Amino acid sequence: MEANGLIEDERSSSSSSAVIEHKAFARIGLVGNPSDVYYGRTISLNIQNFWACVTLQPSSDLLILPHPTHDLVQFNSLSQLVNRLENEGYYGGVRLLMATCKVFKNYCKEQGIHLHNNNFSLSYDTNIPRQAGLSGSSAIVCATFSCLLDFYKVRDKIPVEMRPQLILNAEKELGIVAGLQDRVAQVYGGLLYMDFNKESMNKHGHGIYTQLDTSLLPPLHLIYAENPSDSGKVHSAVRQRWLDGDKFIVSSMEEVANLALEGKKALLEKDYAKLAILMNQNFDLRRRMFGDAALGALNIEMVEVARSVGAAAKFTGSGGAVVAFCPDGPSQVELLTDACKKVGFSIVPVKVVPSLLNEIDIRTLSKSANTQA
Ligand SMILES: Nc1ncnc2c1ncn2[C@@H]1O[C@H](COP(=O)(O)OP(=O)(O)O)[C@@H](O)[C@H]1O
Ligand SMILES: O=C(O)[C@H]1O[C@H](OP(=O)(O)O)[C@H](O)[C@@H](O)[C@@H]1O
Ligand SMILES: [Mg+2]
């Protein structure tokens, strides 16, 4: 999978050629996550550094093809099998492809959207570090969803703002606790401010999504480590406390949501000193709510290494990767790079994906759900 020409591939892949291929990119929660799971607000960006790719090929039977490494079922030994399960869990991407097909079919049925009866095979590949809080799971779902939109030629019938919820429903179907920010960033591309206020969510089934100019962003860095963690598991205890009305969780989540509101202002004003403060506050609030055991020692260390050189740092998602910002510029980036290398963390400069919406997608957008800043 080559990084060059990615965006062109993504835009041209909806042609009527027999094989349909779609990419969906990793995302970084910049400020406000995980309040997206709780009627909050977030600012997120879609990044070119990593992506999942799904291929749909017309076929006589409907086939979901397991990935040769991510859905491993053949092992050298019992120890290899156990080692694999202990490090990566039982599941690969097959269940995500299947759940996407189910959610897509049921939604079309509910909406009276006609689907032809031809069959297809689906396969996937991904270079998004596994379960690293970079939305590897929803990238697979999102790319699958895009393939189905084009195979059935219904892109014009499913509004863009509804798609993130459908993509989320595929993971809910599997019992994974997750929020909308990943899917919004992956459907729209670019940099987005998202407001998931209860009124809009209940009334329309989606939030209000504002595409921000990606040039507002300062240079950012992504730090990650081989350390898969199950985002569903990380979230479930806090989610339960929130559902139970736990005052500390409810008010902390509101505080996190407010950081995104302030973050939008800071970005629009290019007030990066403020942005750095907000990113740090975001992580500190997450740490207080989730506790160190749930966050994981290695994940906390990634933030601490970044902070040791004065960079602002927070999780991109539920854990596994960190987004860092060096307010002092290139010399601080150098210090950060050295500090990461010393402890074995990977670090790369963030490359933002521009908006991914094509003309058909844009025509489906409703004014109330989308604004331009
Ligand atoms: N790289 C991957 N390859 C295959 N399946 C994956 C991958 N990453 C995630 N999944 C699937 O998605 C589920 C949820 O992953 P999640 O913990 O949300 O990771 P992420 O932070 O990458 O979104 C996993 O249990 C697994 O079934
Ligand atoms: O905790 C978070 O910030 C996010 O966790 C999940 O993303 P993941 O990439 O799987 O860690 C979740 O889906 C998001 O909605 C949360 O904001
Ligand atoms: Mg996920």
**Angle, CA of 326, 328 and 329, to the nearest 5°:** 70
Burial (Cβ within 10 Å: 0-12, 13-18, ≥19) of residue 359: exposed
CA of 331 from ligand 2 middle (Å) equals 31
Indicate if the pLDDT at residue 11 is higher than 60. Answer: no
Return the ligand 1 atom nearest residue 231 CA: 17
Indicate if the pLDDT at residue 312 is higher than 80. Answer: yes
Indicate if the pLDDT at residue 287 is higher than 60. Answer: yes
372 occurs within a structural domain: no
Which ligand is nearest the CA of 181, by number?
2
DSSP characters for 330-370? HHHHHHHHHHHHHHT-EEEE--B--B---HHHHHH--GGGE
Q: Which residues are catalytic?
A: 182
**Same-domain pairing of 149 and 229:** no
Q: Is the CB of 36 under 6 A from ligand 2?
A: yes
Compute the distance between CA of residue 77 and CA of residue 151 in angstroms, rounded to an integer. 40
pLDDT confidence tier of residue 232, bands split at 50, 70 and 90: low
190 occurs within a structural domain: yes
Residue 189 belongs to domain spanning: 2-214+352-364
287 occurs within a structural domain: yes
Q: Which two tokens stand for residue 269?
A: 């004003």
Residues with CB under 6 Å of ligand 1 are 70, 89, 91-93, 95-96, 126, 128, 130-137, 176, 230-231, 317
255 occurs within a structural domain: yes
234 vs 122, higher pLDDT: 122
* CATH assignment of the domain containing 55: 3.30.230.10
* Mean pLDDT, residues 273-286 taken together: 98
328 occurs within a structural domain: yes
Chain mean pLDDT for the chain: 92
Question: Closest Cα to atom 10, ligand 1: which residue?
Answer: 137
Q: Give the SS3 label for residue 299.
A: helix
Return the ligand 2 atom nearest residue 42 CA: 17
Matching residue, tokens 């189910």: 102
Report yes or no: 356 and 192 within 8 Å, Cβ to Cβ: no
Compute the distance between CA of residue 38 and CA of residue 194 in angstroms, rounded to an integer. 12
**Same-domain pairing of 176 and 223:** no
pLDDT confidence tier of residue 229, bands split at 50, 70 and 90: confident
Question: Closest Cα to atom 1, ligand 2: which residue?
Answer: 318
**Same-domain pairing of 181 and 221:** no
pLDDT confidence tier of residue 176, bands split at 50, 70 and 90: confident
What one-character DSSP code corresponds to residue 308? H
**Same-domain pairing of 197 and 230:** no
Q: Is the CB of 181 under 6 A from ligand 2?
A: yes
Q: Strand pairing partners for 194?
A: 42, 209
Q: Is the CB of 34 under 6 A from ligand 2?
A: yes
Return the ligand 1 atom nearest residue 136 CA: 22
Q: Count CB neighbours of 233 within 10 A.
A: 14
pLDDT of residue 12: 41
**Same-domain pairing of 192 and 223:** no
341 occurs within a structural domain: yes
89 vs 221, higher pLDDT: 221
**Same-domain pairing of 234 and 295:** yes
* Mean pLDDT, residues 26-54 taken together: 97
Q: Is the CB of 44 under 6 A from ligand 2?
A: no
**Angle, CA of 45, 56 and 109, to the nearest 5°:** 85
pLDDT confidence tier of residue 233, bands split at 50, 70 and 90: confident
pLDDT of residue 349: 98
pLDDT digits (tens, 9 = 90+) for 338-360: 999 999 999 999 999 998 898 99
Is the bond into 34 cis (omega within 30 degrees of 0)?
yes
Number of H helices, E strands in the chain: 14, 11
310 occurs within a structural domain: yes
Which ligand is nearest the CA of 130, by number?
1
83-109 burial, b for 16+ CB within 10 Å, e for fewer? eeeeebeebbbbbbbbbbbebbeebbe
* CATH assignment of the domain containing 315: 3.30.70.890
pLDDT confidence tier of residue 367, bands split at 50, 70 and 90: low
Q: Strand pairing partners for 58?
A: 120
pLDDT of residue 10: 43
* Mean pLDDT, residues 286-305 taken together: 94
Instruction: Find the length of the chain.
Output: 373
Indicate if the pLDDT at residue 2 is higher than 60. Answer: no
Give the largest CA-CA distance in the chain. 59
Compute the distance between CA of residue 53 and CA of residue 123 in angstroms, rounded to an integer. 9
Question: Closest Cα to atom 17, ligand 2: which residue?
Answer: 34
371 occurs within a structural domain: no
- How many alpha carbons lie under 13 Å from residue 285 in its C-beta half-sphere? 23
* Mean pLDDT, residues 165-190 taken together: 94
Total domains, the chain: 2
Question: Closest Cα to atom 5, ligand 2: which residue?
Answer: 318
Report the 3 state secondary structure along 126-154: ECCCCCCCCCHHHHHHHHHHHHHHHHCCC
**Same-domain pairing of 209 and 260:** no
Mean pLDDT check: name the lowest of 77-81, 226-230, 274-278, 344-348: 226-230
**Same-domain pairing of 115 and 260:** no
Closest Cα to residue 301, out of 285, 313, 288?
Answer: 313
pLDDT of residue 5: 35
pLDDT digits (tens, 9 = 90+) for 56-107: 999 999 999 999 999 999 999 999 999 999 888 899 999 999 999 999 999 9
**Same-domain pairing of 43 and 76:** yes
pLDDT of residue 88: 83
**Same-domain pairing of 155 and 204:** yes
* Mean pLDDT, residues 108-130 taken together: 96
Indicate if the pLDDT at residue 256 is higher than 50. Answer: yes
**Same-domain pairing of 236 and 290:** yes
**Same-domain pairing of 175 and 197:** yes
CA of 319 from ligand 2 middle (Å) equals 8
